[in-house]
Amino acid sequence: MSRPRSLADIGGEAALIAGGGRAILLQLAHPAVGHGVANHSDFVSRPLDRLHSTMTFVYAVVDGDRRLVDRVTRAVNASHRRVRSAEDAGTPAYDAADPALQLWVAATLYDTAIRLYERLFGALSPQLADEVYRQYALLGTTLQMPAELWPADRAAFGRYWTEMAGTLQTDAVTRDVARKLLHPTAVPRWLKAGMPLARLITAGLLNSEQRAMFDLPWSPRRQRRFDRVMRVAASVYPRLPLRLRHAPQRRYLAKLRATLR
């Protein structure tokens, strides 16, 4: 098994898609993001469309050339310009282009990806971990987040993460969005069949306080099932051919390149 050398090596791993639920729930737990999604996003009714657009953006940023990055950046920024709302009756104001919110979204993607990657492959070396951390800022700066807003190093990120964790909260609106996300109805049968496993992984990657915010059921039995799934994945997945593990990345980038012809 070849060793990762960059964000492209790590970000291209298909297994990281399994962490998407955790990242989204952590984003929803930010009051402004959660209500912004509830009021402006269609990902609950069209989850696959949202997944495809998110993966296209992430793969383009971590392993695309300048043309691909420019293409997805224009598309995302154009959609963000249409998503703004003022504070109303206790609902936080929301602006999809707000750098602080972009920072939180990028932070959830980074933290989730690294946690899941290291569960499967083991800890990164300090040098590679530092390099990948610096590169992950691209997920925010590509969307106009000022580079200086990304915490200076992993220690600073840890302090930011701890501070933000203390501000997270949910209410009936954001819990309903999470419930619909984890129990989709208008999706293909193959996706619906995989949702019990997706719910288990999503809940297992959250801590107990975060699970409680979303009323996610947990028990010693569920913990054992989650640990067993992670052990099997860590035993099997890293041994798969790299070409297979990075197949979704190649597919998304090929589709994106086709739009530029």
pLDDT attached to residue 249: 93
| pLDDT tens track for 85-98 | 555 555 566 666 78
With bands split at pLDDT 50, 70 and 90, how would you rate the model's confidence at 69? confident
Is the Cβ–Cβ distance between 120 and 233 less than 8 Å? yes
pLDDT attached to residue 2: 58
DSSP annotation string for 103-123: HHHHHHHHHHHHHHHHHHH-P
3-state helix, strand, coil in the chain (%, to 5): 70, 0, 25
Distance between CA atoms of residues 89 and 66, nearest Å: 43
> What one-letter code names the amino acid at 65?
D
With bands split at pLDDT 50, 70 and 90, how would you rate the model's confidence at 40? low
| pLDDT tens track for 178-236 | 999 999 887 889 989 999 999 999 999 999 999 999 999 999 999 999 999 999 999 99
Structure pTM?
Answer: 0.89
Query: Is the pLDDT reported for residue 110 higher than 60?
Result: yes
Distance between CA atoms of residues 245 and 239, nearest Å: 9
| pLDDT tens track for 123-173 | 999 999 999 999 999 888 887 789 999 999 999 999 999 999 999 999 999
pLDDT attached to residue 42: 65
Distance between CA atoms of residues 7 and 59, nearest Å: 10
Number of Cβ within a 10 Å radius of residue 177: 22
pLDDT attached to residue 111: 97
88 burial level (CB within 10 Å; 0-12, 13-18, 19+): exposed
